[in-house]
Chain A
Amino acid sequence: MSYSEKVIDHYNNPRNVGSLPKDDETVGTGLVGAPECGDVMKLQVRVNPETGVIDDAKFKTFGCGSAIASSSLATEWLKGKTLDQALEIKNVDIVQELSLPPVKIHCSVLAEDAIKAAIADYKRKRGNGNGE
């Protein structure tokens, strides 16, 4: 299998690897995939409660190079977006940006799921915390 240059770049120089404190009120965590399927992504966003803008994003991924690249790219794109803008990121955008072959499309789907899960986690926390 040959990889696009962008996938190789994200694999060699992944952006935003790491973890944010998952119990922090302003942090939303998405953990998607299953080890049995060969892909697990943890994607976290930190949201500025005043502006509703994502000011930090981190990821950790167990998976192939395309899965690592998809989640790395997702964290890059998330920073500076509002939650609504973040939810507009679709897997096809990731497929296009990274030139993923058909057999790797599931990696981009997982990244989209991870974004949604992280934002849902953040909203749930805020909902519970503020009684909204």
Chain B
Amino acid sequence: MLKLPIYMDNHATTPLDPRVLEAMMPYLTDRFGNAASRNHSFGWQAEEAVEAARKQVAELIGATAKEIVFTSGATESDNLAIKGAAHMYREKGNHLVTLVTEHKAVIDTCKHLEKEGFDVTYLPVGRDGLVDLDHLRAAITDRTILVSVMAANNEVGVLQPIAEIGRITRERGVLFHTDAVQAAGKVPFDVNAASVDMASLSAHKMYGPKGVGALYVRRRNPRVLLTPIIDGGGHERGMRSGTLNVPGIVGFGKAAAICRQDLSAESARVAALRDRLYDGLRQRLDDIFVNGSMAHRLPGNLNLSFAYVEGESLLMGINDVAVSSGSACTSATLEPSYVLKALGVGDELAHSSIRFGLGRFNTEEEVDFVVEKLSAVVVRLREMSPLYELARENPKWQVKAAN
């Protein structure tokens, strides 16, 4: 039985896995202790649960438990990694390198540092969304202290070559931070294989609860030190003060353990759903374009532009399907997605884009429903579109693919 509405926006957030909720429940009820209470069993119980979760999160990314710093989420993790490293290593240099397609949590943190006097290079990406490694090599100077490149993009799902980037940063003696929020738990991600020094993670992107994340901070070869951005009781090895969110952390640990256990089977299943969606739409509609590399992409991501129809009106026609649009009309700024712009997607196609985020709980039946419904809406809106009419009359109005 198909249940509406259908959720296909798993890059924004994921549903809480029932097994995660089950693991969390005792810590929302009887086991309410503060993990920092050293003098009674309530505290010990909480601490024990936190340490078990720390190990689970570490195992997902090939780290050791001591290298995991729990935070309130990935935005905080990105802030801590970038500001923390910039301030700690300021005497070594004042230059950072990142990408124009990073999440705002990274870009705006870098912009903040620019106001403090740091120099930041925002590298462009190609039409496929990938960074050019020669550009990256050339951008690193004697003054560079940190390179921050996301593992997977939140809009187009493009996977950056982080292992190659890690090799370059290691060779040049520069720290490497990656926002691995979308990648971790979805594709193989190992901090040692990729020579990553810091990695931001978020529980609610991997079927865990909101309000909890982590920063992986390498302890050996090299040992990374960070200036904290929150002062207080010295929790989390002094890097992140504040009482630990015990139920959230327990849920995060469980979510990570499930992802690790099911990773290859789940990613294959989700990729098959994604391909079914794309194939179904392609069979029914002309003039649809994939934004970003199809080869280097998260299994659950599909970012499509439906030429001649505007994204928000498309969403309105499929109001029982939760997806998101790169169209300006969905934002207060009226600017289309800066990520699509960076890929060289024209404004017109950016306005026509939809991001699908498939995940653990989607089914073939849901995909088939979305294919039928969306195709019908696109056909209807194209009949209503002056651009479609113009393109039919005169080929010079036809929208061409970016790549």
Contacts and interface: CB of A to CB of B under 8 A. Distances in A.
Interface of A: 1, 3, 8, 11, 14, 17, 19, 31, 35-42, 60-65, 67-68, 103, 106
Contacts of A68: 313, 384
Interface in B360-403: 383-389
12 contacts: A1-B330, A31-B386, A35-B351, A35-B387, A61-B385, A62-B308, A62-B310, A62-B385, A62-B387, A63-B329, A68-B384, A106-B334
Nearest to A35: B348
B329 A64 contact: yes
A74 B157 CA distance: 41
Interface range, B side: 20 to 34
B389 A19 contact: yes
B385 A38 contact: no
Contacts of A39: 310
Given A3-B316, A64-B327, A103-B332, A38 B310 contact: yes
Contacts of A31: 386
Contact of B384 (A1, A14, A64): A14
Contact of B386 (A3, A38, A60, A64): A60
Interface of B: 308-310, 312-313, 316-317, 327-330, 332, 334, 336, 346-348, 351, 383-389
Question: Chain A binding site: helix, strand, loop or mixed by DSSP?
Answer: mixed
Contacts of B387: 35, 40, 62
Contacts of A19: 389
A37 B347 contact: yes
A2 to B, nearest CB: 10
A4 B310 CA distance: 19
B351 A38 contact: yes
Q: Which 6 A-B pairs have the closest CB atoms?
A: A36-B347, A42-B386, A35-B348, A64-B312, A38-B351, A60-B386
Nearest to A104: B329
B394 to A, nearest CB: 13
A98 to B, nearest CB: 14
Given A35-B347, A36-B346, A65 B336 contact: no
Contacts, number: 71
Given A35-B351, A64-B313, 7 more contacts: A3-B316, A8-B316, A38-B351, A61-B386, A62-B387, A62-B388, A68-B384
Nearest to A102: B332
A38 B316 contact: no
Contacts of A38: 310, 327-329, 334, 336, 347, 351
Contacts of A63: 310, 313, 329
A67 B316 CA distance: 12
Given A11-B313, A11-B316, A35-B351, A17 B383 contact: yes
A63 B314 CA distance: 9
A15 to B, nearest CB: 12
Nearest to A1: B330
Contacts of A8: 316
A65 B312 CA distance: 7
A129 to B, nearest CB: 23
A67 B385 CA distance: 12
B156 to A, nearest CB: 19
Contact of A40 (B330, B334, B386): B386
Contacts of B313: 11, 63-65, 67-68
Contacts of A3: 316
B346 A64 contact: no
Residue among A3, A31, A38 with most chain B CB within 10 A? A38
Contacts of B330: 1
A11 B351 CA distance: 18
Contacts of B332: 103
A33 B221 CA distance: 57
Contacts of A65: 312-313, 316
Contacts of A14: 384
